[in-house]
Amino acid sequence: MLESICIKNFALIDEVEVNFSKGVNVLTGETGAGKSIIVEALQMALGERASAEVVRQGYDSARIDAVFKIECISPALKDILDTQCIEFEDNRLILSRVIFKDGRSRAWVSGRPVPIGILQSIGNELVDFHGQYEHQSLLNSQYQLEVLDNYIGAEKLRIELREKVKRLKKLDEEIAFLEESQLKQTREIDLLNFELNEIQKVAPQPREDETLRSQINYYTNLETIKRNSQEAYDILIGSEVSVISLLNRVRNLLAEIKQHENNFESYYSKLDEILCELEELARECRRCGELVEISEEELEKLHQRLNLINRLKKKYGPSIENVLEYANKVKEKLQLFENLDDRLDNLKQERKRLFDEIIKEASELSNIRKERLPLLAEAISNILKDLGMKNCKFTVGISPTELSYNGIDQIQFLFSSNLGEEEKPLKYVASGGEISRVMLAIKTVLADVDRIPTLVFDEIDSGIGGVMAPKVAEKLIELGRHRQIILITHMPQIAVIADCHYLVSKVIKSNRTVAQVNLLHEKGREEEIARMLSGNVSEISISHAKEMLAKVKKLKKEKGL
């Protein structure tokens, strides 16, 4: 409910703070006193379009702060607050709007800056305006559908369907994203496959480039190796004057010497070891000298292989290990793309199952609506007749439409205020006062299930006489049991039902006209009702006012209020 509104530098208002109560809050005052300014300021606080003309002359800006006590938060309001990361303390939400004289404006929710659109979305969940205002939920087709579902007990089914349609839309977005990704990835997949094939075709082994360079170096110099090895063999053992032959002669001499001189024993042993190693060296030189050379073609193959590996290293390297690591990454990426295809197939299958389920449930909901919508129309029509609109006709039209969050139906409230006239959409044929009474009838019918806590009525008494006014008043009293009502009225029969009565008046301060708002207590109420009854305050009008207030007090007591 709306706890209070503080208005500064707005139109005729310097500064006004109004504290509202539960039940029925009534604003009265002479024509032109500024009653509608209060409602207009509230609309601005709830995100309605603002004009620089509302800024009071002589000031740079106007400011409105509306404080709401949130006793039961709706799912829609919770979603908005969660999305905007807005927190509120003590179950209170503060909506603020500053309007500058250059036409700009800024908005806050509980101190957090928000776009004006967010302010309006939050306002839609908190207050319903009815009368001569642009924003009226009654004229909104989605609201009309919610009204019907709430009344016929299909709200739970609609909410469940809404969640499934949300899931369907998310699936559609994900599928579209993956399909777009597929198109973008076709070239990438082709490139990755080419790169992987290029690496796999060469199939390099770790450190293979080092081995190839060693082999090429070896075979390139093999002739020199053979020639030098053969020459070394000849020197070592290839003739009678070879190194090994001469050393063998020395060895034999040392063998005789060591028999007589012990010091030569160690030299003999060392020479013996040297001869063994030289003989082994000679055998190795002989082997190398007999090596078979490879052909130029085979050597060229080694060069070609090394060139292939070097090209891979240049593209994916700088080492073979890097090339192999890159190939593994390419495999992993291609696997992800394969998984993407599987994911897309699974999502499409899931979407088909969900869509079939949604259509089935939407059809069930549509059948329930068609079967029960006459009940809502009848209930509203009966109340409208009680409110003095005996010749009116109110029906609910339903027609198929594309699948949406609310199913496959669209409905319209159809209305005719005069006998013999065809019913047409409510927004085209009903006046502000008639719309207010239609909304009063709807809100009365839906008193137990409607989610919006505060209703604002203007001109609810338009077009009705003194006889029907008590009927309207009685409906408002009943509605005030369930909702907070703020209404502007010129009729004393309606003003007397107020739980809180505010008098809006104009005074002159410092040679300027200023609107002020005062909460009336017992005596003040009697005088204001008396003024509304006769245009002036007299003993007779005061007596009549007291009598009316007493009757309402008794009626409320009978209703347990």
DSSP secondary structure, 503-532, as one string: EEEEEEETTEEEEEEEEE-HHHHHHHHHHH
* Predicted confidence (pLDDT) at residue 431 exceeds the cutoff of 70: no
Tokens 């339903």 found at: 398
Q: What is the dihedral of CA 298, 302, 304, 305, to 10 degrees?
A: 130
Closest to 393 measured CA to CA, from 418, 369, 374 = 418
How far apart CA 175 and CA 168 sit, in angstroms, is 10
Query: Helix or strand or coil: residue 281?
Result: helix
Average pLDDT over residues 378-396: 86
Average pLDDT over residues 358-373: 93
How far apart CA 239 and CA 53 sit, in angstroms, is 125
Encoded tokens for 144? 């009309």
Instruction: For residue range 211-267, list pLDDT tens digits in order.
Output: 878 777 777 766 777 778 777 777 888 777 788 778 888 878 888 887 878 888 888
Q: Which residue has the higher pLDDT, 184 or 175?
A: 175
pLDDT of residue 107: 92
Average pLDDT over residues 9-31: 91
Percent of the chain with pLDDT over 70: 94
Contact between 164 and 358 under an 8 Å Cβ cutoff? The reply is yes
Confidence grade of residue 433 (pLDDT, cut at 50, 70, 90): low
* Overall pTM surpassing 0.75 (yes/no): no
CATH level 3 topology of 1-126+453-561: Rossmann fold (3.40.50)
For residue 318, whether the previous peptide bond is cis, meaning omega lies within 30 degrees of 0, is: yes
Instruction: For residue range 516-560, list pLDDT tens digits in order.
Output: 999 999 999 999 999 998 888 899 999 999 999 999 988 888 877
Encoded tokens for 414? 């159809």
Average pLDDT over residues 121-129: 88
Average pLDDT over residues 334-361: 87
Instruction: For residue range 491-525, list pLDDT tens digits in order.
Output: 899 999 999 999 999 888 888 888 899 999 999 99
pLDDT of residue 135: 45
Residue ranges of the domains in the chain?
1-126+453-561
Confidence grade of residue 18 (pLDDT, cut at 50, 70, 90): very high
Contact between 123 and 80 under an 8 Å Cβ cutoff? The reply is no
pLDDT of residue 386: 82
Q: Which residue has the higher pLDDT, 21 or 178?
A: 21
* Predicted confidence (pLDDT) at residue 53 exceeds the cutoff of 70: yes
How far apart CA 513 and CA 508 sit, in angstroms, is 5
Q: Which residue has the higher pLDDT, 449 or 159?
A: 159
pLDDT of residue 352: 95
pLDDT of residue 134: 44
Confidence grade of residue 128 (pLDDT, cut at 50, 70, 90): confident
pLDDT of residue 412: 86
* Predicted confidence (pLDDT) at residue 359 exceeds the cutoff of 90: yes
Q: Which of 178-187, 291-300, 321-330, 485-494 has the lowest mean pLDDT?
A: 291-300
Instruction: Give Cα 290 distance to the centre of its chain.
Output: 82
Distance of CA 528 to CAs 25, 222, 496, 503, 533, Å? 15, 124, 10, 8, 9
Q: What is the dihedral of CA 421, 427, 428, 434, to 10 degrees?
A: 50
How far apart CA 302 and CA 305 sit, in angstroms, is 5
* Predicted confidence (pLDDT) at residue 121 exceeds the cutoff of 60: yes
Average pLDDT over residues 420-430: 78
Contact between 116 and 107 under an 8 Å Cβ cutoff? The reply is yes
Q: What is the mean pLDDT of the chain?
A: 84
**DSSP output for 301-327:** HHHHHHHHHHHHHHHH-SSHHHHHHHH
Query: Helix or strand or coil: residue 69?
Result: strand
Q: Could you tell me what percentage of the chain is helix, strand and coil, using 3-state DSSP and rounding each to the nearest 5?
A: 55, 20, 25
Distance of CA 557 to CAs 41, 551, 561, Å? 34, 10, 5
